[in-house]
Amino acid sequence: MKTCLIVDDSSVIRKVARRILEGLEFTIEEAEDGEQALAACQRKLPEAILLDWNMPKMDGYEFLRVLRRLPGGDGPKVVFCTTENDVAHIARALHAGANEYIMKPFDKEIVEAKFQEVGLI
């Protein structure tokens, strides 16, 4: 089973995403912000990361930049999942190494389509 790290400061979003991704047969880990996510990645890199942008302590963009510089940090497929739904943010995310981008609100079909797009399912 592949592991997906869900990074979002909203417990509701984490719960919804967990339910969707467990349905797609992922093992789930959770983090509330970029710092927690980084600590989780330093312990063990997941195959997938579903990543919010705006979070306390370290935001998703900064986390991604640090992640991609870690040894093996280019491995996880990173799918942003955020309310930052404009072209400039999407372009910045891709430039920083994001593989896909989900604009909130989302549902199971969108998550499934995006994870398929990057070869996770």
Partner 1 sequence: MTPADFDYLRKMLRERSGLVLSAEKQYLAESRLLPLVRRNGLASLADLIGDIRLKPSSQLATDTVSAMTTNETFFFRDKAPFENFRDYIMPALVAVRLREKRIRIWCAAASTGQEPYSLAMTLNEMGPALAGTRVEILATDLSGDVLDRAKAGLYSQFEVQRGLPIQQLLKYFTQEGDSWRIAPEIRAMVQFRTLNLLNDFSPLGTFDVVFCRNVLIYFDQETKIGVFNRIAKQIPDDGYLVLGAAETVVGLTDAFKPMPERRGVYTPNLAARRAGPVTLFASAKF
Decide whether 71 or 109 has the Cβ nearer to partner 1: 109
Per CB under 8 A, contacts with partner 1 among 15-54 are: none
**Can you give the three-state secondary structure of 23-84, one letter per residue?**
HCCEEEEEECCHHHHHHHHHHCCCCEEEECCCCCCCCHHHHHHHHHHCCCCCCCEEEEEECC
Indicate whether 91 belongs to the interface with partner 1 (CB under 8 A): yes
96 binds partner 1 (CB under 8 A): no
Under the criterion CB under 8 A, does residue 84 sit at the interface with partner 1?
Answer: no
**Residue 86 near partner 1 by CB under 8 A:** yes
* Segment (H or E) for 114: helix 108-117
Binding site for partner 1 (CB under 8 A): 85-87, 90-91, 94, 100-103, 106-107, 109-110, 113-114, 116-117
